[in-house]
Structure 1
Amino acid sequence: MQMTFRWYGKGNDSITLKQIRQIPGIKGIVWALHDVPAGEIWPLERIEEVVKQANEYGLNTEVVESVNIHEDIKLGLPSRDHYIQMYKETLKNLGQFGVKVVCYNFMPVFDWFRTDLFKEMEDGSTALFFDAQKVRALTPEQVVKDIEENTKEFTLPGWEPERLKDLQHLFNLYKDITETDLLENLTYFLKEVCPVAEEYGIKMAIHPDDPPFSIFGLPRIVKNKEDIHRLLSAVDSPSNGFTFCSGSLGGNPANDLIDIVRSFASRIYFAHIRNVKHYEDGSFIESSHREADGSLPMNGIVNAMYESGFGGYIRPDHGRHIWDEVCRPGYGLYDRALGAMYLQGAWDTNVLLKNESFSSKKQQTV
């Protein structure tokens, strides 16, 4: 297991590489060229720049999140072949600099969604919150306005301004797109890019839908165990895998997260681990990583990954905003650093128990 930490880049993050390097156990950063619009090729010199910055602090750059997919590919428009070719060129460029995993998503219009970016919790910290009652009364335009008002200093992946200039037009384009259509378009994309990914030693790791159910009538195709099985079966390639995100899949209490880990362990190339606390009305808030603070079986998830022989990359996902930190929503330093330590402690406990068991058996043999 390799513990990593998401970093938005020099000048685009409140956190520095020097600070990340000081978190025990962090081996690499999870990065992207966030200013490059979806559909454009990532330049070699820009990739090299980030690699050099990270290497200066002894951090690898083997995981990219995300290389955004152009909406024309998701919609299955005739222009998709052009944008798929651009995507292939980006994969080739990333492969030249040792990138091993590309996390991506296939969510229409925007990817993640919350109704409140700074919901106050009982202890005075704030966190990302999904209000199931409120969302029923919201329009997409109201959501975008709230996002823009609360993120003036930092852009948010999936909510880039260029993608949201004509929101209603995008929604109209998806009006007749079914889940079957969207899956067919994803399959077409993967059949094209996976051979290139294989050639350059890159694993494509799709991120689950967040939340894992339809919002504003948009189709969702990576929301549960059945969807994951369907996707992995659609394209027979070792480069076709997924990102296990406990917080995204955990937004639906019906998802058995431990079973999902055990069922697809060999195809999990990247993992986002975070906790969420469920409410009876379907709402949820992103709590601390500690199991007792939320509703997800955090220790059971880590145990299942360890027992399944997981050797990929993990990062502590969204954290609370604590100690008056000013940061990008969900991506402060302090609570994610605490999360990294909590997850490594859970992992180390498995190592310790295994060693004790081995030692005990050896003594019995003697």
Structure 2
Amino acid sequence: MKIALSIGTSDEAVRFVKQLGLRHVVSGLSGTPSGILDFSSLMRTRTFFEAAGLTWDVIENLPTTHYDKVMFGLPGRDEQIANVCTSIRNMGRAGIGVLQYQWMLLGGLRTEYSPTGRGGARYSRFDLEVSQRMPAASMDWLGDGPYPHLPDRKLSAEEVWDNLVYFLERIVPVAEEAGVKLAIHPDDAPIPSFMGVARIMTSLEALQRVIDAVPSPCNGLGFCQGTIATMAGVDAVAAIRRFGGQGKIFFAHFRNPRGQVPKFDEVFPDEGDTDMFEAVRAYREVAFDGVMRIDHCPGVIGDNDRSHRSFAYQVGYTKGLMQAVEAMDDSTTAKGENGLQPALTVNKTAKEPPDYPADGENGLQLALTVSWQQDRDMIFAQQLGVNRIVAEVDRWDAETLSSVRNRVEQAGLKLAAIEKLPQSLYEKAILGLPGRDEELERVCQAIRNMGVAGIPLVSYRWTSPWDRQSEVVFRGRGDAVVSGYDEARPPRTSSSVEQKVTAEAVWDNLTYFLERVIPVAEKAGVKLAIHPDDPPVPSLGGVARIFHDVASLIRLFERVPSPYHGLDLCVGTLATMPGADVIETIREFGANKRIFMVHLRNPRGTMPSFRDGFLDEGDVDMLEALRALQSVGFAGPIRAACPPEMVGDTVWGHKARALDVGYLRALLESVERDGF
């Protein structure tokens, strides 16, 4: 299966598709006065995509103006058929193998496009009652305008069938000679008639009939899974097996509506009625190796007119499903055989913290790190189906922290944690400088205030300086800007201390810090989660960095044991530690309940040089990482970190975060399935 998007010939579109990790595109061409897809135009478009490293596999939707007279059985249809045959020959010469067309005489139908979805996302809807009451509005659902021929009489189903068969009998032999597959799209919405004109591609029996009407290896389906799923009483997964088993799925649309005729909504792929994991398994079972295009998407807050955020989420989700299905089908490991043995010491004299999350929910929990003052970002999180927030704050008084929690909860979300105590609160404590006791008191008061505000968790780091990026700008997939580190190049903004601080001094300073802070945290009911050193180097700027390997993390929890002290486990940082086994480390610390929160990023390479990238392309098997977290019963916040900078994205990285969240959601849903 090859994931694709439908795009035009712009540099931005090409960069976006490549940054998503796609190598295939689908594109349509506008109608021409001649009614012919010109060979030179086809070659220009193909050359444009090939120069960008992309393959143009499918022409999507032959312009209806090229064959509308055929559909309606009007004079001039034979001339149109001759032109379509010329277009097919030109496609064959240009090496474009699939032509999708449709037989919807009055086009696609929707009756509403409004913010009715999760987080106020805009969903398109079809309601048969509304379409019958306001038919003209139903025809113009995406601004394409009415079709060229409004009916002056009723057209029966058999008339429409006769016109279709007449068309196929004349173009299929040409397609066979040209090596082009013809893929008919089912009628969307799949209702029997509209404005007196029959709609015939509305059932599985109709799809079989069109295949059988003109038998040919070049006559098959543009299998719109979403449309088929809205056919009354149809099981979309069974339909994949039925038509895929015949080798008749030439091209697929991948979406997941909720509801069937007479009323349905187009929703996010993780919330529709079809089991999308089973759908991908079915495509795999029938050996479908064609292009699967991500189809209609809900409207997401702040998105551009090309719906990049929404498409990024759906591409990530589809990628995650494909990875999970392949792993499940290929796996021979029995579920639960992980051989976990506790290996760390925990202070049992301290009271045990409540299991996270406190509301009793189980399972792995996706979270996003956002500024609590950015309402639009919290709405964005809801629209992606994320209901936990890890907040960034700049004030630590009880009133502000309570306001943070209240604002998050008023948005319908849950505040899982605060992202890192600021270094300014305790830098002297790290370096062992005069004034550290005053800093420690400020830290303790901040923790007390978190307890008063009911915030259960905060992360911190024990590094000074904090800089991790090299001067060089790393370029990733599709020329995306990614973070990274190269030991041969100094950090970009690193500062140095006047006197070097040794590893033992840093250890002593940390012990001094924890011996005073942890009792306060235990009393306040607030967990502390330390983030490993990033990059994991022995020293930086004259200050030793002590958490650059797994052994140092084990030493930490043995040195100052407490059930309120654990890891902000950064999978990416672990992956860049030479010799570290990420999955086994998760199992070891997770089995001892020392993982409180998780950062997911997926770099390539280990020290002395690495670069970050998208979650689906690094050295860590993210599916196995999540399976390991599930196997140890982890239920804290999991969030993607360090998203690459994508074309046209915001500073916060909405497109990249949507891609990551979609990918992780599919993996999380998969690991929680029975039998995985």
Instruction: Determine if the alignment matches structure 1 residue 274 to structure 2 residue 601.
Output: yes
Counterpart amino acid of residue 335 in structure 1: A
**Which residue in 1 is equivalent to 2:378?**
17
**Which residue in 2 is equivalent to 1:126?**
481
- Comparing 231-240 with 44-53, greater Cα deviation is found at 44-53
- 1:9-30 CA-to-partner distances (Å, cap 9, x unmatched) read 436x9x6222122112x12211
Separation of aligned partners in 2, 1:122 and 1:17: 28
**Which residue in 2 is equivalent to 1:63?**
417
Match of 1:31 among 368, 388, 391: 391
**Which residue in 2 is equivalent to 1:83?**
439
- 1:20-42 CA-to-partner distances (Å, cap 9, x unmatched) read 22112x122111323x4xxxxx1
Matches within 5 A, 1:76-225: 76-109=432-465, 111-116=466-471, 119-133=474-488, 135=489, 138=490, 143-144=492-493, 167-168=495-496, 171-173=497-499, 175=500, 177-213=501-537, 214-225=539-550
- 1:160-217 CA-to-partner distances (Å, cap 9, x unmatched) read xxxx8xx44xx114x1x21111111111111111111111211110000001113344
What TM-score do you get using the length of structure 2 for normalisation? 0.43
Match of 2:571 among 246, 253, 258: 246
Q: Which has the higher contact order (CA 8 A, sep 6+)?
A: 1
1:114: how far off?
0.8
**Which residue in 1 is equivalent to 2:317?**
none
Separation of aligned partners in 2, 1:197 and 1:62: 16
1:45: how far off?
2.2
3-state secondary structure, aligned to 1:287: coil
Aligned residues of 1:209 and 1:249 also touching (Cα < 8 A) = no
Match of 1:299 among 610, 623, 630: 623
Separation of aligned partners in 2, 1:319 and 1:255: 23
3-state secondary structure, aligned to 1:277: coil
Counterpart amino acid of residue 192 in structure 1: R
Instruction: Determine if the alignment matches structure 1 residue 2 to structure 2 residue 389.
Output: no
The answer for unaligned runs of 5 or more in structure 2 is 1-363
Aligned residues of 1:116 and 1:129 also touching (Cα < 8 A) = no
Separation of aligned partners in 1, 2:625 and 2:653: 23
What TM-score do you get using the length of structure 1 for normalisation? 0.78
**Which residue in 2 is equivalent to 1:349?**
670
Aligned residues of 2:521 and 2:528 also touching (Cα < 8 A) = yes
Aligned residues of 2:566 and 2:596 also touching (Cα < 8 A) = yes
Separation of aligned partners in 1, 2:646 and 2:401: 32
1:298: how far off?
1.7
Change (3 A) 1:117 1:64: farther
Aligned residues of 1:211 and 1:249 also touching (Cα < 8 A) = no
The answer for unaligned runs of 5 or more in structure 1 is 37-41, 145-163, 358-366
Counterpart amino acid of residue 233 in structure 1: E
Separation of aligned partners in 2, 1:247 and 1:119: 16
3-state secondary structure, aligned to 1:115: coil
Aligned residues of 2:416 and 2:637 also touching (Cα < 8 A) = no
Change (3 A) 1:9 1:119: farther
3-state secondary structure, aligned to 2:482: strand
Instruction: Determine if the alignment matches structure 1 residue 46 to structure 2 residue 400.
Output: yes
Aligned residues of 1:4 and 1:30 also touching (Cα < 8 A) = yes
1:287: how far off?
1.1
1:116: how far off?
5.0
- 1:295-330 CA-to-partner distances (Å, cap 9, x unmatched) read 122222111111111111111111111241130xxx
Aligned residues of 2:529 and 2:597 also touching (Cα < 8 A) = yes
Separation of aligned partners in 2, 1:304 and 1:112: 30
3-state secondary structure, aligned to 1:356: coil
3-state secondary structure, aligned to 1:325: coil
1:349: how far off?
1.6
Counterpart amino acid of residue 603 in structure 2: V
3-state secondary structure, aligned to 2:387: strand
Aligned residues of 1:117 and 1:128 also touching (Cα < 8 A) = no
**Which residue in 2 is equivalent to 1:227?**
552
Counterpart amino acid of residue 369 in structure 2: R
Separation of aligned partners in 2, 1:336 and 1:182: 35
**Which residue in 1 is equivalent to 2:658?**
337
Match of 2:428 among 58, 72, 78: 72
Aligned residues of 2:460 and 2:528 also touching (Cα < 8 A) = yes
Change (3 A) 1:117 1:195: farther
Separation of aligned partners in 2, 1:122 and 1:6: 24
1:232: how far off?
0.5
Separation of aligned partners in 1, 2:515 and 2:382: 38
